Amino acid sequence: MAFMAAIGTAAGSMTAAQGIGMVASAASSFSQMQSNRSKARGLGAQATMARLQAKTESLKYKQQGLSVLDNILQTQAAINARAGAGGIDPNSGSARALAQYALSRGAQETYTIMDNQVIAERGGEMQAQQYMQQARGIMRAGLIGGIAKGATTAYQFYLIGGSTALEPAMGYGAGQVDPRLFRAAGLG
């Protein structure tokens, strides 16, 4: 409350030019923070898209795996039909060996596809996490930049002969910033 009173006292002793400068600086600080917030939202949207693309790739691999399984069934059915048509027992001899070979090759391909599915999902999630980390950094930089710009403006106002009413109310000397501002920004 004392801080607000000090700002009111300081604002009352400003010239019009000083007041315009303070307002312009505050608007610039706010604009910087809003710009960074907008960039962070954009990165959040990119993170969502990365997850969505990873899921799409994963589903493509899943569909590919189903196609492989269908192919295995068709191959085994064809082997059984040809063996039966030739009067050979489809569950023994070379017909059985061909069916087992088709099954093992299909299983290898299926496992490869499953690995690719996992890689696609995890790669998308890692990319999304990188975007979110960037977004957090941009938000933090905007907040710190806005606070620093406001503090710099207040200090410059003091240096050019503005009211000294701010100093006693804040309890800090010329050029010093309230440590609570740094804690609020997550820096202290």
pTM: 0.61
What's the pLDDT at 152?
Answer: 84
User: Could you report the per-residue pLDDT of 48-93, keeping only the tens digit for each?
Assistant: 999 999 999 999 999 999 999 899 989 888 888 888 888 888 777 8
Q: According to the model, what pLDDT value does residue 135 have?
A: 92
Domain residue ranges in the chain: 42-184
pLDDT at 153: 80
User: Which DSSP state fits 92?
Assistant: S
Q: How confident is the model over 16-51, as pLDDT tens digits?
A: 767 787 788 788 888 888 888 999 999 999 999 999
Burial class (CB in 10 A: 0-12, 13-18, 19+), 132: middle
CB 143 within 8 A of CB 33: yes
- In the structure encoding, which two tokens stand for residue 162, read together? 């503005």
**Chain segment 134-151, per-residue pLDDT in tens:** 999 999 988 888 888 888
Q: Check residue 16 and give its pLDDT.
A: 72
Placement of tokens 């957090």 in the chain: 136
